[in-house]
Structure 1
Amino acid sequence: MNKYLEINDLGLRDYKEIWDYQENLFQKILQIKSKNSKENLQYETPNFFLFVEHPHVYTLGKSGHVENLLISEKKLAEINASFYKINRGGDITYHGPGQIVGYPILDLENFFTDIHKYMRLLEEMIILTLAEYGLKAERSKGETGVWLDVGTPFARKICAMGVRASRWVTMHGFALNVNTDLGYFDHMIPCGIRGKAVTSLNVELGKTKISLAEVKVRLLKHFLMLFEAEIKEKTEA
């Protein structure tokens, strides 16, 4: 089993461009698995972890309802945002500058074969990271993602999640609001859940800006611990 991760921080990149990039990595792993199965081979499958920020974009999962996007195509253009129907689970979400988006593209057969456990560990990574900033983050029963003040009238979501998996290979992932412009969430019903607020790390800490680089280091530290994984060192060409 290969528990090494290839880490790639892509910076601010177009959503469709990175969706295509994810698909290429996803299919690469599936092709190796298919070849191993057909020819009784044992080639290792790689694992990837992508960090990225996206320009303003709304994405709708397979089980989502387009009515949860509350604005027209004209208004989308006015606020410089795009919209895509995509192949992950979940409903509608928003990505934008100041938000850390993480795409683990893993062969779970290198770790464990349990999608429920995978999702809970992603949530735990966020919970542990936010604890380092003094925040008590939690899961909300029946609602994937990470929340603050669960069970109170002030419940608010700080991290959304949605994944796709095939033959234990994953893609898509999580979106953690760090310095996010929360006004963009007003144009949708986040994850299709009415009456729940959205927040970000800088708002919770009362700061103008939080270091994205620092948050990424902490996220990756907890991911490696929870998945018992290691970073694959890049070799010089």
Structure 2
Amino acid sequence: MRRTCLLYQSDRPIPYLSAWQWQKQLVEERKQARREGIDLPDVLLLIEHPAVYTLGQGSSLEFLKFNLEDHNIECHRIERGGEVTHHAIGQLVAYPILNLDYHQHDLHWYLRQLEEVIIQVLAKFGLSSQRIQGLTGVWINKSGQNQKIAQVGIKVSQWITMHGFALNVNMDLSGFDRIVPCGITDCQVCNLNQFVPDVRVEQVKIAIAQTFAQIFNLEMQLPLSTSL
């Protein structure tokens, strides 16, 4: 029997701080429910953000090419792993709130499953992609050069997950020029629409939701209220 997962989406960009707060609320609700012997369904938030930078909890500031005191640039240090990354409209960000008690108590497995979701989504659009040994995320080889199309960074507390992955669909990639993406020197980034010019964000949302459900053996359900 498939476990239920509530799918929250939005047709408008969601401010980063709003989504971050909501994730923390969902995680705490599931921790409290567990203490009370209640099993709440898993959740997948699938959204876009206005331009923002996020630093992992151990990220080095040396990978920033801007001043943190510049109030025109939104930047937050958060509790996920990994180095600095960039979000913007045209990039789909997936935040799974999963209770790994019902999946696997294995963070390595979980990271590889998230990457597998991305790899299979890209395959649905006719693209071959791969992991790189020792790194997280997903790359596409273009003219002999690996270009990163998706970033992965998670936080797991008491086996409840938060944060997740970001897939570049048709975003303005120039925002990555202000950082060393994921702390990888000479890291090149790319968009899905560079390979599939007519791709639409809505198509990719559907592919992510379907593939995520298959990989994690979930039954996706739209909540009674889908507003974010």
Same fold judged by TM-score > 0.5?
Answer: yes
Task: Provide the C-alpha distance between the structure 2 equivalents of 1:57 and 1:105, rounded to a whole number of angstroms.
Answer: 21
**1:84 maps to 2:76:** yes
Task: Provide the C-alpha distance between the structure 2 equivalents of 1:45 and 1:115, rounded to a whole number of angstroms.
Answer: 21
Residues 30 and 39 of structure 2 are in contact (CA less than 8 Å); yes or no, is this contact kept in structure 1?
Answer: no
Q: CA RMSD in A?
A: 1.9
Q: 1:62, CA displacement in angstroms?
A: 1.1
AA partner of residue 45 (structure 1): L
**1:107 maps to 2:99:** yes
Structure 1 residue matching 2:136: 3-state secondary structure = strand
**1:6 maps to 2:1:** no
Q: Find the structure with the greater CA-based Rg.
A: 1
Q: 1:125 aligns with which of 112, 117, 127?
A: 117
Task: Provide the C-alpha distance between the structure 1 equivalents of 2:195 and 2:80, rounded to a whole number of angstroms.
Answer: 29
Q: How many residues align?
A: 224
Residues 15/234 of structure 1: CA separation in 2 closer, same or farther (3 Å cut):
closer
AA partner of residue 4 (structure 1): T
The aligned runs of 1:198-209 (5 Å cut-off) are 198-205=189-196, 207=197
**1:45 maps to 2:40:** yes
Residues 47/73 of structure 1: CA separation in 2 closer, same or farther (3 Å cut):
same
The structure whose RCO (Cα within 8 Å, separation 6+) is larger is 2
Residues 2 and 217 of structure 2 are in contact (CA less than 8 Å); yes or no, is this contact kept in structure 1?
Answer: no
The aligned runs of 1:139-218 (5 Å cut-off) are 139-149=131-141, 154-205=145-196, 207=197, 210-218=199-207
Task: Provide the C-alpha distance between the structure 2 equivalents of 1:155 and 1:124, rounded to a whole number of angstroms.
Answer: 17
AA partner of residue 221 (structure 2): K
5+ residue gaps, structure 1, are 37-42
- TM-score w.r.t. the length of structure 1 is 0.89
Query: Identical aligned pairs, as a percentage?
Result: 37
Task: Provide the C-alpha distance between the structure 2 equivalents of 1:164 and 1:50, rounded to a whole number of angstroms.
Answer: 15
Q: 1:75, CA displacement in angstroms?
A: 5.5
- TM-score w.r.t. the length of structure 2 is 0.92
Residues 2 and 110 of structure 1 are in contact (CA less than 8 Å); yes or no, is this contact kept in structure 2?
Answer: no
5+ residue gaps, structure 2, are none
| Equivalent position of 1:39 in the other structure | none
| Equivalent position of 2:55 in the other structure | 60
